[in-house]
Amino acid sequence: MRSKIWLIGMVSVLALGLVLASSFTVLAQTEWKMALGDAAGGTQWALGERFAKLVDAYTGGEIKLALFPNGQLGSEQETVQNCRLGTLDFSVAAINNITPFSPTVGLFTLPYLILSVDEAVTLTQGPIGEELVQNTIKSAGVRILGWSYSGFRRLSNSKRPITRPADLKGLTIRVPKNAIMIACYQAWGVSPTPMAWDEVFTALQQKVLDGQDTPLITQYVMKFYEVQKYITKIRYVFLLEPLVISEQLFQRQSPEVQQILLRAGREAQEYCRQFLILYEDSIEKELTGKGLKILDPADGEKEWIDKATKAVWPKFYKSIGGKAKVEAALKAIGRKFPF
Protein backbone atom coordinates (compact mmCIF):
# COMPACT_ATOMS: atom_id res chain seq x y z
CA MET A 1 0.00 0.00 0.00
CA ARG A 2 2.88 2.36 0.75
CA SER A 3 4.12 1.79 -2.81
CA LYS A 4 0.74 2.88 -4.16
CA ILE A 5 0.97 6.18 -2.30
CA TRP A 6 4.55 6.70 -3.39
CA LEU A 7 3.56 6.24 -7.03
CA ILE A 8 0.83 8.88 -6.85
CA GLY A 9 2.05 11.76 -8.95
CA MET A 10 5.58 10.37 -9.13
CA VAL A 11 5.73 10.53 -12.92
CA SER A 12 4.84 14.23 -12.86
CA VAL A 13 7.33 14.82 -10.04
CA LEU A 14 10.16 13.31 -12.02
CA ALA A 15 9.16 15.12 -15.20
CA LEU A 16 8.98 18.48 -13.45
CA GLY A 17 12.21 17.70 -11.64
CA LEU A 18 13.99 17.26 -14.95
CA VAL A 19 12.62 20.55 -16.24
CA LEU A 20 13.62 22.45 -13.12
CA ALA A 21 17.00 20.76 -12.88
CA SER A 22 17.85 21.83 -16.41
CA SER A 23 17.84 25.48 -15.32
CA PHE A 24 18.87 25.01 -11.69
CA THR A 25 22.43 25.82 -10.76
CA VAL A 26 24.27 25.92 -7.44
CA LEU A 27 27.93 26.16 -6.62
CA ALA A 28 28.04 22.83 -4.80
CA GLN A 29 25.76 20.09 -3.57
CA THR A 30 23.98 21.07 -0.36
CA GLU A 31 22.73 18.80 2.44
CA TRP A 32 20.27 20.01 5.04
CA LYS A 33 19.19 18.31 8.27
CA MET A 34 15.62 17.59 9.29
CA ALA A 35 14.63 16.55 12.83
CA LEU A 36 11.61 14.35 13.53
CA GLY A 37 10.26 13.50 16.96
CA ASP A 38 8.67 10.19 15.90
CA ALA A 39 10.13 6.97 14.60
CA ALA A 40 10.37 6.21 10.88
CA GLY A 41 7.17 4.89 9.34
CA GLY A 42 4.60 7.31 10.74
CA THR A 43 3.01 10.46 9.38
CA GLN A 44 5.94 12.69 10.37
CA TRP A 45 8.20 10.43 8.34
CA ALA A 46 5.74 10.34 5.43
CA LEU A 47 5.76 14.14 5.25
CA GLY A 48 9.50 14.57 5.74
CA GLU A 49 10.61 11.77 3.44
CA ARG A 50 8.29 12.86 0.63
CA PHE A 51 9.45 16.47 0.98
CA ALA A 52 13.09 15.36 0.79
CA LYS A 53 12.44 13.33 -2.38
CA LEU A 54 10.63 16.21 -4.03
CA VAL A 55 13.37 18.72 -3.25
CA ASP A 56 15.98 16.26 -4.51
CA ALA A 57 14.03 15.76 -7.76
CA TYR A 58 13.23 19.42 -8.31
CA THR A 59 16.86 20.50 -7.86
CA GLY A 60 18.36 17.70 -9.89
CA GLY A 61 19.98 16.24 -6.79
CA GLU A 62 21.74 19.46 -5.85
CA ILE A 63 19.86 19.83 -2.56
CA LYS A 64 19.45 16.79 -0.34
CA LEU A 65 17.93 16.38 3.10
CA ALA A 66 19.06 13.97 5.80
CA LEU A 67 16.25 12.87 8.15
CA PHE A 68 16.90 12.24 11.85
CA PRO A 69 13.88 10.48 13.41
CA ASN A 70 13.16 9.46 17.00
CA GLY A 71 14.32 12.71 18.57
CA GLN A 72 17.96 12.19 17.60
CA LEU A 73 18.50 15.93 17.36
CA GLY A 74 16.65 16.81 20.57
CA SER A 75 13.09 17.17 21.81
CA GLU A 76 10.57 18.69 19.42
CA GLN A 77 10.55 22.03 21.25
CA GLU A 78 14.34 22.06 21.19
CA THR A 79 14.44 21.44 17.45
CA VAL A 80 11.90 24.20 16.80
CA GLN A 81 14.00 26.52 18.94
CA ASN A 82 17.12 25.53 17.02
CA CYS A 83 15.39 26.27 13.71
CA ARG A 84 14.37 29.60 15.18
CA LEU A 85 18.01 30.33 16.03
CA GLY A 86 19.23 29.16 12.64
CA THR A 87 21.32 26.28 14.01
CA LEU A 88 19.03 23.61 12.51
CA ASP A 89 17.50 23.58 9.04
CA PHE A 90 14.15 21.76 9.38
CA SER A 91 11.93 20.18 12.01
CA VAL A 92 8.68 18.23 11.94
CA ALA A 93 6.99 18.76 15.29
CA ALA A 94 3.54 18.56 16.85
CA ILE A 95 1.67 21.86 16.71
CA ASN A 96 1.64 22.04 20.52
CA ASN A 97 5.45 22.27 20.41
CA ILE A 98 5.26 25.32 18.15
CA THR A 99 2.63 27.06 20.28
CA PRO A 100 5.15 28.28 22.91
CA PHE A 101 6.91 30.25 20.18
CA SER A 102 3.78 31.31 18.28
CA PRO A 103 0.73 31.25 20.60
CA THR A 104 -1.92 31.85 17.93
CA VAL A 105 -1.36 28.40 16.41
CA GLY A 106 -2.82 27.14 19.68
CA LEU A 107 -6.14 27.63 17.89
CA PHE A 108 -5.60 24.19 16.38
CA THR A 109 -5.14 22.55 19.79
CA LEU A 110 -8.48 23.73 21.20
CA PRO A 111 -10.31 20.51 22.16
CA TYR A 112 -12.88 19.35 19.62
CA LEU A 113 -12.36 22.28 17.26
CA ILE A 114 -11.41 19.84 14.47
CA LEU A 115 -13.56 16.74 14.08
CA SER A 116 -12.39 15.25 10.76
CA VAL A 117 -9.49 15.10 8.33
CA ASP A 118 -11.46 17.26 5.90
CA GLU A 119 -11.91 19.97 8.54
CA ALA A 120 -8.17 19.85 9.28
CA VAL A 121 -7.39 20.31 5.59
CA THR A 122 -9.89 23.15 5.19
CA LEU A 123 -8.46 25.06 8.14
CA THR A 124 -4.76 24.54 7.42
CA GLN A 125 -4.95 25.18 3.68
CA GLY A 126 -7.36 28.10 3.81
CA PRO A 127 -7.07 31.74 4.95
CA ILE A 128 -6.91 30.82 8.64
CA GLY A 129 -3.98 28.47 8.06
CA GLU A 130 -2.16 31.07 5.96
CA GLU A 131 -2.62 33.68 8.70
CA LEU A 132 -1.09 31.29 11.23
CA VAL A 133 1.83 30.60 8.87
CA GLN A 134 2.53 34.33 8.68
CA ASN A 135 2.15 34.71 12.45
CA THR A 136 4.66 31.90 12.98
CA ILE A 137 7.21 33.52 10.69
CA LYS A 138 6.95 36.77 12.64
CA SER A 139 6.78 35.44 16.19
CA ALA A 140 8.72 32.17 16.01
CA GLY A 141 11.26 32.76 13.25
CA VAL A 142 10.25 29.55 11.45
CA ARG A 143 8.13 29.04 8.34
CA ILE A 144 5.55 26.27 8.00
CA LEU A 145 6.06 24.64 4.60
CA GLY A 146 3.57 21.78 5.00
CA TRP A 147 1.26 20.11 7.48
CA SER A 148 1.37 16.50 8.61
CA TYR A 149 -2.16 15.18 9.12
CA SER A 150 -1.55 12.63 11.85
CA GLY A 151 -5.06 11.82 13.09
CA PHE A 152 -6.84 12.18 16.41
CA ARG A 153 -4.94 11.86 19.65
CA ARG A 154 -6.33 8.61 21.10
CA LEU A 155 -6.02 7.94 24.82
CA SER A 156 -4.08 4.81 25.82
CA ASN A 157 -3.39 3.32 29.25
CA SER A 158 -2.10 0.18 30.91
CA LYS A 159 -4.61 -0.09 33.78
CA ARG A 160 -8.26 -0.40 32.76
CA PRO A 161 -10.91 0.32 30.11
CA ILE A 162 -11.84 4.00 29.95
CA THR A 163 -15.06 5.21 28.35
CA ARG A 164 -16.00 8.23 30.54
CA PRO A 165 -13.94 11.05 32.08
CA ALA A 166 -14.63 9.64 35.56
CA ASP A 167 -12.71 6.50 34.57
CA LEU A 168 -9.50 8.58 34.52
CA LYS A 169 -9.56 9.04 38.29
CA GLY A 170 -6.37 7.84 39.93
CA LEU A 171 -4.43 7.40 36.68
CA THR A 172 -1.19 9.20 35.85
CA ILE A 173 -1.64 10.53 32.32
CA ARG A 174 1.07 12.24 30.31
CA VAL A 175 0.27 15.31 28.26
CA PRO A 176 2.59 17.58 26.27
CA LYS A 177 3.88 20.72 27.96
CA ASN A 178 0.94 22.65 26.55
CA ALA A 179 -1.39 24.76 28.66
CA ILE A 180 -4.49 24.06 26.55
CA MET A 181 -4.07 20.30 26.68
CA ILE A 182 -3.29 20.36 30.40
CA ALA A 183 -6.46 22.38 31.01
CA CYS A 184 -8.46 19.85 29.02
CA TYR A 185 -7.52 16.96 31.28
CA GLN A 186 -8.13 19.13 34.31
CA ALA A 187 -11.65 19.74 32.98
CA TRP A 188 -12.07 15.97 32.96
CA GLY A 189 -11.17 15.83 36.63
CA VAL A 190 -7.53 14.70 36.61
CA SER A 191 -4.17 16.38 37.10
CA PRO A 192 -2.06 15.29 34.12
CA THR A 193 1.72 14.98 34.03
CA PRO A 194 3.41 17.27 31.48
CA MET A 195 6.40 15.53 29.90
CA ALA A 196 8.57 15.88 26.80
CA TRP A 197 7.74 13.39 24.05
CA ASP A 198 11.16 11.75 23.97
CA GLU A 199 10.74 10.65 27.61
CA VAL A 200 7.29 9.07 27.29
CA PHE A 201 8.00 5.48 26.21
CA THR A 202 10.51 4.94 29.02
CA ALA A 203 8.11 6.44 31.57
CA LEU A 204 5.33 4.12 30.40
CA GLN A 205 7.70 1.15 30.46
CA GLN A 206 8.83 1.93 33.99
CA LYS A 207 5.23 2.52 35.17
CA VAL A 208 5.95 6.15 36.02
CA LEU A 209 3.02 6.86 33.72
CA ASP A 210 -0.18 4.87 33.26
CA GLY A 211 -1.22 6.46 29.99
CA GLN A 212 -0.85 9.10 27.30
CA ASP A 213 -2.56 10.22 24.10
CA THR A 214 -1.26 10.15 20.54
CA PRO A 215 -2.68 9.07 17.16
CA LEU A 216 -2.95 5.36 16.40
CA ILE A 217 -0.24 5.48 13.72
CA THR A 218 2.15 7.10 16.18
CA GLN A 219 1.34 4.54 18.86
CA TYR A 220 2.09 1.79 16.37
CA VAL A 221 5.42 3.07 15.03
CA MET A 222 6.57 3.97 18.56
CA LYS A 223 5.63 0.42 19.73
CA PHE A 224 3.38 1.62 22.55
CA TYR A 225 1.55 -1.69 22.28
CA GLU A 226 4.44 -3.11 24.29
CA VAL A 227 3.58 -0.94 27.31
CA GLN A 228 -0.16 -0.20 26.99
CA LYS A 229 -3.30 -2.37 27.11
CA TYR A 230 -6.27 -0.13 26.29
CA ILE A 231 -7.03 2.61 23.76
CA THR A 232 -10.04 4.91 23.96
CA LYS A 233 -10.98 6.56 20.65
CA ILE A 234 -11.54 10.08 21.91
CA ARG A 235 -11.15 12.89 19.34
CA TYR A 236 -10.21 15.82 21.56
CA VAL A 237 -7.33 17.01 19.37
CA PHE A 238 -6.62 16.30 15.71
CA LEU A 239 -2.84 16.22 15.66
CA LEU A 240 -1.20 18.52 13.14
CA GLU A 241 2.58 18.27 12.87
CA PRO A 242 3.98 21.02 10.65
CA LEU A 243 7.21 20.82 8.70
CA VAL A 244 9.07 24.03 9.53
CA ILE A 245 12.18 25.57 8.04
CA SER A 246 14.42 28.10 9.71
CA GLU A 247 13.29 31.44 8.33
CA GLN A 248 16.92 32.53 8.29
CA LEU A 249 17.72 29.63 5.97
CA PHE A 250 14.68 30.29 3.80
CA GLN A 251 15.57 33.93 3.31
CA ARG A 252 19.12 33.03 2.24
CA GLN A 253 17.79 31.07 -0.72
CA SER A 254 17.23 32.38 -4.22
CA PRO A 255 13.61 33.01 -5.29
CA GLU A 256 13.88 29.86 -7.41
CA VAL A 257 14.82 27.67 -4.45
CA GLN A 258 12.18 29.30 -2.26
CA GLN A 259 9.50 28.37 -4.79
CA ILE A 260 10.79 24.80 -4.91
CA LEU A 261 10.57 24.53 -1.12
CA LEU A 262 7.05 25.96 -1.03
CA ARG A 263 5.86 23.66 -3.80
CA ALA A 264 7.49 20.59 -2.26
CA GLY A 265 5.82 21.41 1.06
CA ARG A 266 2.36 21.65 -0.51
CA GLU A 267 2.78 18.39 -2.39
CA ALA A 268 4.25 16.56 0.61
CA GLN A 269 1.32 17.53 2.82
CA GLU A 270 -1.13 16.12 0.26
CA TYR A 271 0.87 12.89 0.21
CA CYS A 272 0.69 12.81 4.02
CA ARG A 273 -3.09 13.25 3.96
CA GLN A 274 -3.42 10.27 1.62
CA PHE A 275 -1.03 8.27 3.78
CA LEU A 276 -3.23 8.80 6.85
CA ILE A 277 -6.44 7.87 5.04
CA LEU A 278 -4.96 4.69 3.56
CA TYR A 279 -3.21 3.46 6.67
CA GLU A 280 -5.22 4.44 9.75
CA ASP A 281 -7.82 1.65 9.58
CA SER A 282 -5.21 -1.03 8.97
CA ILE A 283 -3.10 0.30 11.85
CA GLU A 284 -6.10 -0.06 14.17
CA LYS A 285 -6.36 -3.71 13.14
CA GLU A 286 -2.63 -4.16 13.70
CA LEU A 287 -2.92 -2.76 17.22
CA THR A 288 -5.86 -5.03 17.98
CA GLY A 289 -3.76 -7.91 16.73
CA LYS A 290 -1.05 -6.90 19.19
CA GLY A 291 -3.51 -7.47 22.03
CA LEU A 292 -4.77 -3.94 22.67
CA LYS A 293 -8.44 -3.41 23.50
CA ILE A 294 -9.83 -0.47 21.55
CA LEU A 295 -12.95 1.16 22.98
CA ASP A 296 -15.34 3.92 21.93
CA PRO A 297 -16.15 6.66 24.46
CA ALA A 298 -19.59 6.40 26.08
CA ASP A 299 -22.62 8.35 24.80
CA GLY A 300 -20.97 9.44 21.57
CA GLU A 301 -18.30 11.31 23.54
CA LYS A 302 -20.84 13.92 24.69
CA GLU A 303 -19.57 14.23 28.27
CA TRP A 304 -15.94 14.55 27.11
CA ILE A 305 -16.89 17.25 24.61
CA ASP A 306 -19.11 19.27 26.95
CA LYS A 307 -16.60 19.37 29.79
CA ALA A 308 -13.64 20.24 27.56
CA THR A 309 -15.17 22.90 25.33
CA LYS A 310 -17.04 24.79 28.04
CA ALA A 311 -14.16 24.84 30.51
CA VAL A 312 -11.20 25.25 28.15
CA TRP A 313 -12.13 27.39 25.17
CA PRO A 314 -12.94 30.61 27.09
CA LYS A 315 -9.64 30.43 29.02
CA PHE A 316 -7.58 30.66 25.85
CA TYR A 317 -9.43 33.09 23.59
CA LYS A 318 -6.92 35.82 24.32
CA SER A 319 -3.80 33.75 23.57
CA ILE A 320 -5.10 32.37 20.26
CA GLY A 321 -6.22 35.76 18.94
CA GLY A 322 -9.71 36.20 20.33
CA LYS A 323 -13.08 34.48 20.34
CA ALA A 324 -13.65 35.80 16.81
CA LYS A 325 -10.86 33.51 15.56
CA VAL A 326 -12.70 30.48 16.91
CA GLU A 327 -15.95 31.66 15.35
CA ALA A 328 -14.19 32.19 12.01
CA ALA A 329 -12.68 28.70 12.15
CA LEU A 330 -16.05 27.11 12.89
CA LYS A 331 -17.68 29.09 10.08
CA ALA A 332 -15.00 27.91 7.65
CA ILE A 333 -15.82 24.28 8.39
CA GLY A 334 -19.60 24.79 8.50
CA ARG A 335 -20.15 24.35 12.21
CA LYS A 336 -21.93 26.46 14.81
CA PHE A 337 -20.55 27.63 18.13
CA PRO A 338 -21.17 24.74 20.55
CA PHE A 339 -22.31 26.76 23.59
What residue type is assigned to position 139 of the chain?
A: S
Confidence class for position 28, pLDDT limits 50, 70, 90: low
- Residue 6's pLDDT is 43
Mean pLDDT of 34-49: 96
Q: CA nearest 266: which of 11, 7, 3, 13?
A: 13
Q: List, in sequence order, every residue forming a beta bridge with 146; answer none if it has no partner.
A: 243
Secondary structure letter of residue 38 according to DSSP: S
- Residue 337's pLDDT is 84
Confidence class for position 326, pLDDT limits 50, 70, 90: very high
Q: List, in sequence order, every residue forming a beta bridge with 238; answer none if it has no partner.
A: 152
Cα separation, 155 vs 294, whole angstroms? 10
β-pairing, 154-157 with 211-214? antiparallel
CB 89 within 8 A of CB 31: no
Q: List, in sequence order, every residue forming a beta bridge with 156; answer none if it has no partner.
A: 212, 231
Prediction pTM value: 0.90
Confidence class for position 200, pLDDT limits 50, 70, 90: very high
pLDDT exceeds cutoff 80 at 19: no
Q: Is 28 helix (H, G, I), strand (E, B) or coil?
A: coil
CB 83 within 8 A of CB 188: no
pLDDT exceeds cutoff 60 at 175: yes
- Residue 20's pLDDT is 47
12 Cβ contact list (under 8 Å, min separation 6) = none
Average pLDDT in the chain: 92
Domains and CATH numbers, the chain: 2-150+239-282 (3.40.190.170), 154-237+284-332 (3.40.190.170)
Number of residues in the chain: 339
Q: Is 74 helix (H, G, I), strand (E, B) or coil?
A: coil
- Residue 29's pLDDT is 79
- Residue 338's pLDDT is 78
Confidence class for position 32, pLDDT limits 50, 70, 90: very high
β-pairing, 63-68 with 30-36? parallel
CB 10 within 8 A of CB 250: no
- Residue 118's pLDDT is 97
What residue type is assigned to position 45 of the chain?
A: W
Q: Is 296 helix (H, G, I), strand (E, B) or coil?
A: coil
User: pLDDT digit string (tens) for 60-111?
Assistant: 999 999 999 999 999 999 999 999 999 999 999 999 999 999 999 999 999 9
User: pLDDT digit string (tens) for 243-263?
Assistant: 999 999 999 999 999 999 999
Confidence class for position 300, pLDDT limits 50, 70, 90: very high
User: pLDDT digit string (tens) for 114-151?
Assistant: 999 999 999 999 999 999 999 999 999 999 999 999 99
pLDDT exceeds cutoff 90 at 18: no
